[in-house]
Amino acid sequence: MKHGKVPFILSFLALPVGLYTWLVLMPFAQAFQISLTDWSGTSNKFNYIGFENFVELFQDDVFVLPGLKNTGIILLVMPVLTIALALFFAFMLNVGGQSKGGRIRGVRGASFYKIVYFFPQVLSLAIIAILWKQMYAPANFGGMLASALKFVGITPPVNGFLAREDFVLWCVIAVMVWSAVGFYLVFFSSAMASIPTEIYEAALIDGASRVTTFFRVTLPLLWESVQTAWVYLGIIALDAFALVYIMTPEQGGPNHASEVIGGVVYRYSFSFQERGMGAAIGVVLFFATLIMAVVSLRVTRRDRVEY
């Protein structure tokens, strides 16, 4: 019976593993092959040129270098803001209520607030991009933010926030944080629910403030969840192309001020018909994502806290 388990298990794994290999691993391998060619995507001829695409892409200061810089800014800012806000809201909803008789309570209506914060998750990314594009529009085109500033006597950007080179990338980051914070609020709230309330009550009896309780109790016990969120948010930050493509002028403008590396892949592959260069940028993005995940897990690794 023991030896008969292996063929039985393999019979269930064969189809999903085969499909995964065919639909995921093989296209990845093909992308590595195409990155070493000058293939245009319109013919069946492959001319192998070695690593010329990789050399040229780092010399492109019009698309690639701005895309790398902006993607790096998003990667540094967006996960930090999202995790900080999600932790703050989750802590306040679950532990921030008035304590009675030494008992820790969440705020009244916490479940309703979680639903409100989570609501952006039920919207598609395209809908979110269109909604916020209208929010950032000029006042004479019905832009809500510009109209609100104008109402209180502050002069908004004449052509809208997305037309300003110094604003556009931060507008995109704000939308990414807004759309992600609700999910991680619920994620951290679920992790907090597993922390025994006796630990919080002991901290309260010892005179610990809310801030001290958060940094000395909650954060260490949630560190594995924070670590997981950091990796996933880093991957989301590297994949900001769809939001930028729909929201921003010129799909990365103005003047490439919101260009991201995913948009550069799209430009080379479909606008310029240089699939080899597009594949090379995709390979760089793949390794950047892999390195980011490994480094994040190594840097944020701590000893497991038992309770």
Q: Which range has the worst mean pLDDT, 96-110, 195-209, 232-246, 262-276?
A: 96-110
Considering the chain, what is the average pLDDT of its residues?
A: 83
pLDDT class of 274 with cuts at 50, 70, 90? confident
> What pLDDT was estimated at residue 86?
93
Query: CA-to-CA distance for 85 and 116, rounded, in angstroms?
Result: 15
Longest dimension (CA), the chain: 80
Task: Flag whether 47 is in a domain.
Answer: no
pLDDT class of 205 with cuts at 50, 70, 90? confident
Domain of 118, CATH number, reads 1.10.3720.10
Q: Dump pLDDT digits (tens) for 248-261.
A: 888 888 888 888 98
Q: Which domain holds residue 203?
A: 54-299
- Over 60: is that where the pLDDT of 2 sits? no
Percentage of the chain lying above the pLDDT 90 cut: 13
- Over 70: is that where the pLDDT of 98 sits? no
Segment 92-110 shows an average pLDDT of: 68
> What pLDDT was estimated at residue 306?
60
pLDDT class of 3 with cuts at 50, 70, 90? low
> What pLDDT was estimated at residue 100?
58
> What pLDDT was estimated at residue 253?
81
Segment 117-139 shows an average pLDDT of: 88
Q: Which range has the worst mean pLDDT, 93-97, 140-144, 170-174?
A: 93-97
Cα 36–40–23 angle (5° rounding)? 70
Task: Flag whether 122 is in a domain.
Answer: yes
Total domains in the fold of the chain: 1
Task: Flag whether 48 is in a domain.
Answer: no
The single-letter code of the amino acid at 157 is P
Query: CA-to-CA distance for 4 and 27, rounded, in angstroms?
Result: 34
Tokens read off for 163: 């037309």
* Residue scoring higher pLDDT (134 or 298): 134
Q: Which residues are 103's β-sheet partners? A: 100
Task: Flag whether 35 is in a domain.
Answer: no
Task: Flag whether 31 is in a domain.
Answer: no
- Over 80: is that where the pLDDT of 95 sits? no
Q: pTM of the full predicted structure? A: 0.84
pLDDT class of 173 with cuts at 50, 70, 90? very high
Task: Flag whether 123 is in a domain.
Answer: yes
pLDDT class of 268 with cuts at 50, 70, 90? confident
Task: Flag whether 306 is in a domain.
Answer: no
- Other CB atoms closer than 10 Å to residue 130's CB: what's the count? 14
- Over 80: is that where the pLDDT of 301 sits? no
Under 8 Å between Cβ of 119 and 182: yes
Task: Flag whether 290 is in a domain.
Answer: yes
Residue closest to 63 by CA, chosen among 246, 274, 237: 274
Q: Dump pLDDT digits (tens) for 28-70.
A: 888 888 888 888 877 777 788 888 888 888 887 778 888 888 9
- Over 70: is that where the pLDDT of 166 sits? yes
The single-letter code of the amino acid at 6 is V
Segment 275-297 shows an average pLDDT of: 85
